[in-house]
Amino acid sequence: MEEKKISEKTVRLLVALSSKMKDNAHCPYSMFPVGAALLCEDGTIFTGCNVENSAYPVGVCAEKTAISKAVSEGYRKFKAIAISSNLKDRFIVPCGNCRQFMAEFGFDIDVYMSKPDLTYTQSTVGELLPMGFEPTQLLDED
């Protein structure tokens, strides 16, 4: 439909980096490591992993880690994010919380969901969060 945002080579790099990121995950509770790799508009890549907490709701997902990391370094425009887990039979998908966190920075960000063998499927934040809550929805009301 539309021109591809990034080359297959870059996608494969993102997927590989997200997969490698699982090594850094702090997940003694779920034993479910997740990695993410975020591509900024200028080509810079930020990676992230899940950081769990003994109080489960306090933990942070891999995608949020990667994005907050990028924002804290001055980046706000993102092209794509890749996600990896150890689920062999299913492409790992971002949770609703992460979809919402990503939507703040654009519904057109590509999301690459992978398997441990580095195969992947593609979607966008907009497709994963249809009828999404727009970032400026609240601010508009003033």
- What's the token pair of residue 123? 């979607």
Q: Does 98 bind Zn ion (CB under 5 A)?
A: yes
Closer Cβ to its own copies, 7 or 31, answer by number: 31
Buried b vs exposed e over 108-136: b needs ≥16 C-beta within 10 Å?
Answer: ebbbbbbbeeeebeeebbbebbeebeeee
Q: Does 103 bind Zn ion (CB under 5 A)?
A: no
Of the candidates 43, 41, 46, the one whose C-alpha atom is nearest the C-alpha of residue 21 is 46
Binding residues for its own copies restricted to 37-96, rule: CB under 8 A: 47-49, 51-62, 64-69, 71-74, 76, 86-87, 90, 93-96
Those residues whose C-beta lies under 8 Å from the C-beta of residue 62, and which sit 6 or more positions away, are: 18, 21, 25, 34, 35, 36, 48, 49, 50, 83
User: Using CB under 8 A as the criterion, what x/- string covers residues 111-140 for binding its own copies?
Assistant: --x---------x---xxxxxxxxxxxxx-
Q: Does 95 bind Zn ion (CB under 5 A)?
A: yes
Q: What are phi and psi of 78, to 5 degrees?
A: -120, 140
The CB-of-77 to its own copies minimum distance in angstroms stands at 12
Q: Give yes or no: 63 in active site.
A: yes
Q: Which positions touch its own copies (CB under 8 A)?
A: 21, 24, 26, 28-30, 32, 47-49, 51-62, 64-69, 71-74, 76, 86-87, 90, 93-101, 103-104, 113, 123, 127-139, 141
Q: List residues with catalytic annotation.
A: 63
